[in-house]
Structures are given as structure tokens and as C-alpha cells.
Chain A
């Protein structure tokens, strides 16, 4: 297995990345070949239905660029914010015992700051839907 690619030492110089460059070039070349190849060789039958944009099988209605109420964006962004919070509970749940009381206090601090944020948006009326 005296192969060029395996001889690379763990050093930080540019030439060690040469194999990666070759790989990228190969990947791009293969993709271009496949896309243009199937386009050139494959059969083409164009119908009006086929050329339409695909929207889950529903017929297209109007333009997508129309004004939408800001409420949707607000709820979406708040959802993302509070949803991400949950992700941090996973590593904590796994290390629950190892982190002891100190870890518990840190998590309580984290949750309470989020709760403060929740009280703030609630009081500010960001979640009021009908107005």
C-alpha cells in the first residue's frame, strides 16, 4: 500500500492538501459529466404540465411575492429561539449526575434567563394574534 495519498504526514503546509484538491476536481468533473451526459443521451418529451413548477401536486396560484402579516415572522423567529433552548437540555440530561449542584444552578440560570425573555415578549404583546 505504498500509495501517494497515504504518505501524507500530519503537517500544516499547503501541499498536504493536494489530495483534497484532486478529490474536489474529480467530484466536480464527475458531476458535470453525469448531468450533461444524461441531458444529451436521455429522451426528451416536453409537455405543458411537465414544465410547470412542482408544488406538491397542487396547481400554481398567483405569485409568491406578496405581503404577509409580520405576525407570522415574529412567531416563527420566537419559536426558533425557544426551540433551540431545548437542544441544550440533551447534553445536560446525559451528564445530570456528574455535573452535581453546580451544573444544576447553571441550568437554572440559563432557563430563568429564557423565562425572563418569555415574560418580556408576552408582556410586549408579541404573541397577541388578534388585534
Chain B
């Protein structure tokens, strides 16, 4: 509750900063303060159990410790993102505080879509989350690719929203309670009625689009590649994790009891996502585009939580969001500073910038899922959850094989960082773009990844608080 209200207010505040204050550096510090306050206020609500403004939500919001813990992860990742890449947001264009304002509106949507208890708020949350993103994608107004990405994202997003709304209408009309509340959707016994089946399929399509699962992933590489790199970093981590959380909560609460009837569809989507994400990432030459495909591949792993739908999966999705966001924000923060976005551009990074090379390596190892990093524990949780589900054990084997394939394209970058000589005489990174505080923050990111890899309980303990 705190997070929803406060993120909206802070967004408006950022907007007014843009209109009344000329300073170019103030918005960044204001945004960092806002993210820190969001983290704090949400933490207080998680700790005390009561929000500051107790508004009668008519039971339309489900404020549980699990949802709040997830939001806490999101706000921590946003804070880190602002501190690491705030300066690069300033470089995108002249409307700096508007970019931050839009990000705060996205956070408002994220807060809504991770605490909703009715289908209406799910729709609102996902819309509030998506619309600012269409604008952010096109933030680089003079760049043709950015414009193209924005328009593509907008058109495809609008279609998928229509499908989502259609699905919600079918679920509403089809359940005998005629209820929008996700915990009161009554499906009856035995086979699902036709209208509910149609609704479930439409919801799966729309939400798979939002989290870029195959075969609804076609917008992802173009949009992630065209958008300014800082916003790609934000979109592919925080927003994607929030989409997954909303997806899983809806299907667990409303359609969990009849999982046997739609599980096959999820199995198909999961395997297709892993296949397309991993195999296509192998052929990419640009690291930015490789990370776009890798985000599809990681989405496949997160879909295992939807396949499993049990307590371990709930813990796993929170852990996976944290691990994936930390590692991707870290690697993107380094990528933005690079002069050349191809894999050859990383050649000899470790010789010129030892710390950056090390942190990039830890992030990539975490994305691969090597032990001692957060990526390993989260992948471990996901696979355990899938095994506990007890059906279709072969999905687990397929997931492990694809995790092994992913090592190929992640390790290629590590190989370039450590074992290759720079391809030209120019430095890989201009030294003046790497400040001391940036290095400290990167080190903190790497340490966080390692801590989550060794003691995942610190995060999961809060979800059961």
C-alpha cells in the first residue's frame, strides 16, 4: 500500500522538478532518494504489517509478506540501477527528470501488479507498467531505431492488452460466482467449462507476451536492441520479473486446482522459450542483443515456477528475480560504458579495468548458474520445485541441458575479457567514464550476488515473515 501511493506521488514530484528546476544533476539524486524511501517505506510495511495510510481497499489488494518481499527486491534493484546507471540516464536526452518520473510510474504499476487481488487491478497494474515503457523505449527521439522499437512495442503491446482484457472478460463471465476476485473464481469440479478454457488460454497468451516467452517473444530483441541501453537494462530485469510474479500469482490462486488441464500448454511454452532463447543467443555478435536473447532464455527458467506452482516455486521466483536482476543490471552497467557493444569490444577488458572485468565475470557466471553465485541457488530452487511437482520429469532434464548450452555464449564474453588482446589501440572504456563510486557500487553488486549465492535464506526468510 505504501509503495503504490508513494511511487505515484514521487513520480509527479519528479515531473514537476522537470518543469520548475533547470539543474541537470538534481533529478538523479532526487530519484535515488525516492527509490531509497520506497525501499524503506515498503520495508517498514513488511516489518510492522501496517501501512502508513490505511485506505479501505475493499479487499482488492492482497498485502502479504511474500508480495511485499518481492517488492522489496524490486526496489532494491531499482535503487542499485539508479546509482549505477543514473549518469547514463542523463546522457539519453534533455528530459532527464521525465525519464525518472516515468520509471516511478512503472514502479507504481509494478506495486499494483504484485499486490493485486482482483483481475481489474491486474489489468490496471500491467497497463500502468507498460505505457511508460513505450515512451521510455522511444526516449532517444533522433534515433530511427529507437523510434521503430517504440512503435513496434506499442502496437504489439496494445494487441496483447486487448487479448488480456478479452481473457479477463471470459473468466468473469464463465465462473459461476461471476467474481473479479482472483481467490473467489469458482471453476466447479471436473473439466473446465468452455468459456473458462478460452479465458485461461487468452490470459496465458497475453501474459506470455508481457514476459516475452516464446512463441510470443518476437518483439523482444528488436525492442531491447532499439531502446536506449539504460532503459533496456531496466525493462529486461525489473519489469520482466514483475510480469512473472503477476503471472504466477494469478495462475496459482485462481487456476491452481485445475493445473492438470493447462499444464501441457505451459510445458510447451517453457521448452520453446528455452530452445529459442538459448539457441539464438549462441549466434549473436552484439552483446546487447545476446543479452536480449539471454533474457528470453532466463524467462524460460522462470516459467518453471509456473510449471511447478508450489511453495518452493514461490520462494524460487523471488530469489530468481533478485539474482537475475542483480546480474543483468551489473553487466548492463558495464556494457553502457563500453565503446563497442560487440563481443570483440570486450577484448582485454580485464587488463585495462581489472575490477570491471571481475564484476562482469561474476555477473556472467551468475547468469550461467555456477555455484557460489545467486544464479546457482535460484536455478537450484526452480529445478527442485519442478521435481517436487511430480509430473513430466523430462522438463527438468531439458532445462538442465539448456542451462549447459547457455554457458557457451556467456563464457565467450568471459573469454574475451580475460584471454584476448584488445583489437585496436583505443581503450575499451574511456577512463573518465568510470568513477570511483561506480567501481565501489559494482563491487557491492558482485558481493550481493555472492551473498545471495551462499545464504539465500536471508531473502526467503522474509517471505515467510
Binding site for B on A (CB under 8 A): 12-14, 113, 116, 119-120, 123-124
Nearest A-chain residue to B20, judged by Cβ: A123
User: Could you say which of A12, A113, A124 has the most chain B C-beta atoms within 10 Å of its C-beta?
Assistant: A12
Q: Does the CB pair A14–B20 fall under 8 Å?
A: no
**A124: which B residues are within 8 A, CB to CB?**
18-19
Q: Does the CB pair B16–A14 fall under 8 Å?
A: no
Interface of A is mostly: helix
Does B173 make an interface contact (CB < 8 A)? yes
Q: Does the CB pair A120–B173 fall under 8 Å?
A: no
Interface of B is mostly: helix
**B375: which A residues are within 8 A, CB to CB?**
none
Nearest A-chain residue to B98, judged by Cβ: A124
**B174: which A residues are within 8 A, CB to CB?**
12
- 7 closest residue pairs by CB, A with B: A123-B19, A14-B194, A12-B195, A12-B193, A12-B174, A120-B19, A124-B19
Q: Does the CB pair A13–B19 fall under 8 Å?
A: no
Give B1-40 interface residues, CB cut-off 8 Å to A: 12, 15-16, 18-20
* Besides A12-B174, A12-B194, 5 other A-B contacts (C-beta < 8 A): A12-B173, A13-B193, A14-B194, A116-B16, A120-B19
The size class of the interface chain B forms with chain A is 10 to 19
Nearest A-chain residue to B175, judged by Cβ: A12
**In whole Å, how far is A33's beta carbon from the nearest beta carbon of chain B?**
31
**B15: which A residues are within 8 A, CB to CB?**
120
**In whole Å, how far is B100's beta carbon from the nearest beta carbon of chain A?**
15
Please, could you name 21 A-B residue pairs with CB atoms under 8 Å apart, sorted by A? A12-B173, A12-B174, A12-B176, A12-B193, A12-B194, A12-B195, A13-B193, A13-B194, A14-B194, A113-B12, A116-B12, A116-B16, A119-B16, A119-B19, A120-B15, A120-B16, A120-B19, A123-B19, A123-B20, A124-B18, A124-B19
B164-180 vs A, Cβ < 8 Å mask (1 yes, 0 no): 00000000011010000
**B195: which A residues are within 8 A, CB to CB?**
12
**In whole Å, how far is B57's beta carbon from the nearest beta carbon of chain A?**
14
User: Could you say which of A13, A120, A123, A124 has the most chain B C-beta atoms within 10 Å of its C-beta?
Assistant: A120
**In whole Å, how far is A5's beta carbon from the nearest beta carbon of chain B?**
20
CA–CA, A128 to B62, complex, Å? 45
Nearest B-chain residue to A124, judged by Cβ: B19
User: Could you say which of B18, B20, B173, B194 has the most chain A C-beta atoms within 10 Å of its C-beta?
Assistant: B194
Give B176-194 interface residues, CB cut-off 8 Å to A: 176, 193-194
**B173: which A residues are within 8 A, CB to CB?**
12
**In whole Å, how far is A122's beta carbon from the nearest beta carbon of chain B?**
9
**A12: which B residues are within 8 A, CB to CB?**
173-174, 176, 193-195
**In whole Å, how far is B460's beta carbon from the nearest beta carbon of chain A?**
38
